[in-house]
Each structure stands twice: as structure tokens, then as C-alpha cells.
Amino acid sequence: MKQESGRGSFSGKLGYVLATAGSAVGLGNIWRFPYLAAKYGGGAFLLVYILLALTFGYAMIMSETAIGRMTGKSPVSAFGSFSRKRLVRAGGWINAVIPMLIVPYYSVIGGWVCRYLWAYLSGEGGAMALDGSFEGFLGSPVATELCFLAFAAMTMAVIFGGVRNGIEKVSKIMMPLLAVLTLVVVGFSVTRPGALAGVKYFLIPDFRNFSLMTVVSALGQMFYSLSIAMGILITFGSYTGRDVDIERTTAQVEVFDTAIAVLAGLMVIPAVFAFSGGDAAALGKGPSLMFVTLPRVFESMGGAWIGVLFFLLVLMAALTSSVSLAETACATFEDELGWSRPKAAALVSVILAALGSLSCLGFNVMAHVAPMGMDILSFFDFLTNSVMMPVAAAATILLVLRVIGMDNIEAEISRSSAFRRRGVYRFVVKYLALALLAVILVSSICDAFGLIHI
């Protein structure tokens, strides 16, 4: 991103695609996607995910980017610039608050990555492959907290130092490297004895594994992974010039992001079958899945170097994403409250440290605090992905339909694109989006309160 006087802007098409892809590809693809796919239906989850990304995700990315480019503002002001009504501004705020709630628990997972990287660097990688080692780590408040703080400090150092440029240059090299290394690990993982059953489970939809939760979790994951419904793309759109073909770049980002997620699934899920038989308990492990299975794969690949390289690249991908989350949170305080950058960054640091520590302690000292039966980290994940993001997405769709007018958005997109998929866009925004969001929101809340079991 090139900083110009006043508001920053991207240096061009490539800058926009890279920044968006850098924000999109992160822990969501490598850590979150495989465990959700394993838990909620394998091939059925994958199919639903891809369908949603091509329709709903596509329409959301296009709308958010167009809103950003039309207004040249970040979410709260962008919403506010169309109408002064309280409700409209509230729609902007919900988009803006989500990153502030995600970045703390995101940094906790980033801390787990740091712990593993450190283990491989110091030659103890083998120990991470032993039964119970991950649980042992989570059980230690000091270890988890220190790792979380290390990752959070790296994120905030970038924010305070403003070395964003540097990090983006690094990610240009890291991203392709991550893709190549993931391919190598996939090759190894799928050829383990017994792994083929996992490949089938992940790639071939079996609708006996389908449940409403498949759709709920796939939708939440799509928001998370593509960085939508949290104001990021409105902000990015505001840095984008009229020369950027929004339609094409959207397709590129979607394909790249989904490809990395599918590769991560192929890396983790067959390994679950090879090493733990692929029974329901092994598949349903949740957030710990990647951290439990991958060390076993690396162990059988016989080299600590692969663990070092892998966790280093994941760390970089996680860092570019957490920086863009924290950056958005800061920008909101700067823009809306007129605060200076150091003041905004200081507040974000306090929120980050407080909420992140809660997530860490939820696995040990505060394990008895289980909101809605979840550990604290999973609770924040649920709150943001399954409750707040559907509301934020609905706010954006309503803004397009009721306030801006779909024709105006289409005109903005058409300034730079042939808009070949206009039909899909119209259909999703007009008929599909709100209905689907309502079903998702109601069912996930009912499920969380135990009213229905989906």
C-alpha cells in the first residue's frame, strides 16, 4: 500500500489484489477451514462452502468494495455518508467492532503457532507429536499467555512502527512459498497408509454427513476467510482507484483463498485418517486439530526443518492478517473519534491484551467459565462469526437495497468492469442474502441456547 499525503491508496491493481489476498489468506484457511470441514460434513461442507463463496461471497465482496470506492471512507463514515439515520450508522459500527473482537483470539492462535515454531527451532519438534502434548501446553496459563503476548507484540509493533510496507513486501515472497510448501506437505499427507479414506471424506460429498450446521459453519467460515462482513473491504475499496476491475480482482482473490483452504484441508484431514483412524472423535477435535495432526505428519516426514519452515510461513500469513485486523480497528478510532494514531493504537493494545488473555485463561485457570458451554476462545469465535457477521452482512445488504440503491452500486462496479455476473449479483442481493442470513442467525442462536440441535 502506497502512503500518499493524507489518505493512503494502493499502487495499482496488483497492490489491491495482494493486499486483499494477504488479508484473506491466514489462519482461517490453514487452521480454521480444515477443522470445520472435518467436523461438519467433509465433502458436503466443501461443496456448500464453494457454492456460497461463488454466490454470496462474490456479491458481498463486490458490494463492500464498491461502497468503499464510492465513498472513499472506512465503514462507519461510509455508512454515515449515505444517511444520517442512527440505524444506518449502527450498521457501520457493527462492521467496525468485529475486527476488535477477532484480533485478540486470533492472536492467541498466533501464539500457538509461535510455540510450535519455537519447538521445531529448538529441536523439540518430536515432542509435539506425542499424545496430549498440545493439551498440556493449553493447560499452562504462563506458557499460553507468553506465546499470545509474543504474537500480539509483533502485531502491535507493526502497527506502531508503521512498517506495513515492509510486511507487504515480505508477504509477496511468503505467500507463494507457503502455497508450494503446502503442496509438498499435501503430497506427503495423502500418501500415508490409510489416508485415502480421508481424501474421499473431504472431496466427495456424502449428504449423510450434511446438517444445518454444515451451512451455518460454512457461511461463517466464508465471511471469516474472505475477510467480509467486517468492514475490511470497505476500507480497502476506499484505497482503490477507478482503474481496478473489481469483478476480476474479486474472482482472483476468491480462487486463491479457496485454493489455499482446500490444500490445507488435504494436508490435515487425510492425516487424521492415517494417524487416528478418522472416527468421529478424531474428526470433531475442533480448534486443536491442526496442532495435533501436523506434528505427526512432520515426524513421519522425518525432518524438523519442515516443521520450522511450515510454522514460519504460517506465522507470516497470520501476522499479515492480524496486522490488517488491528489496522482496521485503529483506523476506526482515528477516523471516528479524531484520535491520534498512537492513542488509537494504545487503546487497541489494551483491548487486545485484555480479551486475548481471557481466551488464553479459558483453557486453564478459567476453564470453569464456559459461556454457552464453550471455552472462551470458541465463544468469541462463535459470537463474531455466527452472530455478529450475519448481522453486519445484513446491514450491508440492506444499505445496498434500501439506501444506496442497487442500480447505483451496479453503476459503480460497471465503471471498471464488464460486470458479466450481474445476474448472479442481482439475484443474491435481492432474493437470497437476507433470507439465508435470517435462517443462519436464528438457527445458530437457537443451537447455542440449546433450543434446537442442528
Using CB under 6 A as the criterion, which residues of the chain lie in contact with ligand PFF when the complex forms?
23-24, 26-29, 99, 224-225, 227, 230, 232, 321, 324-325, 328
Nearer to ligand PFF by Cβ, of 321 and 444: the residue is 321
Q: Which residue is nearest to ligand PFF (CB)?
A: 28
What are the angstrom distances between the C-alpha of 184 and each of 166, 178, 181, 192, 353? 27, 10, 5, 13, 36
Nearest to 107 by CA among 331, 324, 345: 324
Instruction: CB nearer to ligand PFF: give 229 or 428.
Output: 229
Residue 328 parent element (H or E): helix 304-337
Q: Write the burial class of residue 176 (CB in 10 Å: 0-12 exposed, 13-18 middle, 19+ buried).
A: exposed
Supply the minimum distance, in Å, between the C-beta of residue 334 and ligand PFF: 16
Distance CA 303, CA 326 (A): 35
First-to-last CA distance in the chain? 43
* CB of residue 248 to ligand PFF, shortest distance in Å: 20
3-state secondary structure of 375: coil
Determine the Cα–Cα distance for residues 100 and 336; give it in Å rounded to an integer.
Answer: 15
Grid cell in block for residue 223: 465471511
Nearest approach in angstroms of CB 235 to ligand PFF is 9
Cβ proximity to ligand PFF: between 194 and 286 the closer is 286
Of 214 and 324, CB closest to ligand PFF: 324
Q: Which of residues 31 and 425 has its CB atom nearest to ligand PFF in the complex?
A: 31
Q: Between residues 29 and 293, which has the closer beta carbon with respect to ligand PFF?
A: 29
The two counts, helices (H) then strands (E), for the chain are 24, 0
Measured from the CB of residue 244, what is the shortest distance to ligand PFF in angstroms? Answer: 19
Cβ pair 355, 380 in contact under 8 A? yes
Shortest Cβ 324–ligand PFF spacing (Å): 4
Considering beta carbons, is residue 322 or 417 the nearer one to ligand PFF? 322
Q: Are 206 and 44 in contact (CB under 8 A)?
A: yes
Minimum separation from the CB atom of position 366 to ligand PFF (A): 25
Give CA angle at 65 (431, 234), nearest 5°.
105
Kindly state the DSSP code that residue 9 receives in the 8-state scheme: B
- Smallest gap from Cβ 418 to ligand PFF, in A, equals 28
CA pair distance 313, 114, nearest whole angstrom: 11
- Considering the complex, state which of residue 324 and residue 332 has its C-beta at the smaller distance from ligand PFF: 324
Distance CA 314, CA 303 (A): 18
Distance of closest approach, residue 381 Cβ to ligand PFF, in angstroms: 11
Query: How far apart are CB 346 and ligand PFF at their closest, in Å?
Result: 20
A 10 A CB-CB count for 9 gives 17
> Quick one: which of 177, 194, 170 has its CA closest to 306?
177
Least Å from the CB of residue 107 to ligand PFF: 11
The whole-angstrom separation of Cα 354 and Cα 226 is: 26
Sign of CA dihedral 437, 90, 388, 443: negative
Residue 43 phi/psi, 5° resolution? -60, -35
Tell me whether residue 23 or residue 416 sits nearer to ligand PFF (CB atom).
23
User: Cβ closer to ligand PFF: 320 or 416?
Assistant: 320
